[in-house]
Chains A and B, each alone.
Chain A
Amino acid sequence: MKEIFTVWKHTRQIVIVALTAAIYAGMLIPFKAIPIIPGMTELRPGNAIPVFFGILFGPAAAWGSAIGNLIADFFGTLSLGSIAGFVGNFLQSYISYKLWRILVKDAVVMNLRQTGIFVLISVISGFVCALTIASGVQFLGLMPFRVLFPIIFINDALMASILGVILMKLLYHRIERTGLLYIPE
């Protein structure tokens, strides 16, 4: 848990927080969403970022995902519900990082086992994120839990599972070579 706060003591980690936030927010807005129920449910490709970056950059990515989601809310949908969004996105990214560290001990090759683990992590972290946001929003009396929970859960889990696996295969080793991957102290 200490590592969540030590992020703020290192310049490089702070830069990663800002970059994760900017990439996440910058991706949520311009990439056209895929509507499932027009006007209500849509799949956002940016939702793969908290899981993917969480695995790469650890707690810095968790803060970045939380801030990125808040920045996206600054494009007109800022409300008290943004607090739930902040916490939910933080947890989604942080849980992904933690579970990946626990479940994957060997080199990342994205074979069938690691792909399966990645999908499992996407589903679990998406579940926690959806649970947090839907509970928070229901508590604030903004939207019914029963409606919001499945929307967020499907959105997060599906996007992270499919797009996240592709991004891991395409980019993990390239980013690893930059030396920016998070290594716990």
Chain B
Amino acid sequence: MSIFFFVPNDSFLHRRDPRVKIAGLIFLCILAMIEHSLYGQGLMAASLLVLFGCSRTGASLKKMARLFILIGTMTFVLWVLFYQGKTRWMLWGILPVYVGAISHAGVMSLRFLNMLLSGLLFLSITAIEDFYGGMVVLGVPYPFAFAMSLSFRLVMVFMSNAFAIVEAQKVRGNDIGQGNIFHRIKAYAPLIAPLILTGVKKAETLTLALESKGFSPQNKIDLSGKYNFGAADSLCLCAMLLVGVTAVWLR
């Protein structure tokens, strides 16, 4: 079972070149940032939900729905309380609420949600291997892309180790849910220490394993043949450009 959000489908969005997907993610985040109207942010959220539907990745959305609703609500409440306008509207406890706070909070919470939705859509349609491949083809230095890729692979191992350690410590009576904050923080040490030691031991063997297989940071890797930038990918980039220009013009 994968702990990541990638949903292996054969949709139009799934088939796109990883470079287009990365560009799309950046484009959507920038679009969310430059859009200042409630309608614009609402339209973007609706469009993103349509894209989730088209790529048949609603399962990822379902997994994160509760967290996103919580984040959206908290962002809204915080911006209502901390927005500083010119005219005071009302007093909420000791905090003054200014005129325009509600619409400002609406835009801000939708902006945050749109960025999170864009990120989730990207994760749902892009396999980790393609993300790594996309970075390399886009010119990200190979050692950096390799370290990212290796980390993604190792995180699964460490997470399963971490779960095993938590269970083992629970059996020994180390309950991290008991006591005050300081006591609970201290209770984490016996959980974290074995995990760190396992990782450090791995460092030496992993270095030898990589070097014995001919790995060198100076290696050049050519993945250009793996990904074909097709007409549909160009079309997607043109669509992004068009939407971007329209959004700027409408501002």
Binding site for B on A (CB under 8 A): 8-12, 14-19, 21-23, 25-27, 29-32, 34, 36, 39-40, 43, 45, 48, 63-64, 67-68, 71, 73-82, 140-144, 146-147, 158-159, 162-163, 166-167, 170-171, 174-175, 178, 180
Contacts and interface: CB of A to CB of B under 8 A. Distances in A.
B120 A171 contact: no
A171 B108 CA distance: 44
Nearest to B204: A178
B199 A15 contact: no
B111 A26 contact: no
Contact of A21 (B112, B147, B207): B147
B161 to A, nearest CB: 7
Most buried by B among A15, A39, A74: A15
Contacts of A45: 185, 188, 191-192
B75 interface: yes
Contact of B144 (A8, A23, A77): A8
Contacts, number: 201
A180 B120 contact: no
A27 B204 contact: no
Nearest to A23: B199
Interface residues of B, number: 75
B129 to A, nearest CB: 14
B6 to A, nearest CB: 10
A62 B112 CA distance: 27
Nearest to B82: A144
Contacts of B184: 34
A60 to B, nearest CB: 9
B231 interface: no
A147 B78 contact: yes
A159 B158 CA distance: 20
A161 B163 CA distance: 24
Given A19-B199, A178-B201, A26 B158 contact: yes
Interface stretch (B12-20, B49-57, B63-71, B240-248): B63-71
Given A26-B159, A80-B33, A142-B75, A19 B206 contact: yes
A22 B33 contact: no
Contacts of B144: 8
Indicate the member of A19, A63, A64 with the most B CB atoms within 10 Å. Answer: A19
11 contacts: A8-B217, A30-B166, A76-B5, A76-B63, A79-B115, A80-B33, A143-B75, A158-B181, A166-B189, A170-B193, A180-B204
A71 B192 contact: no
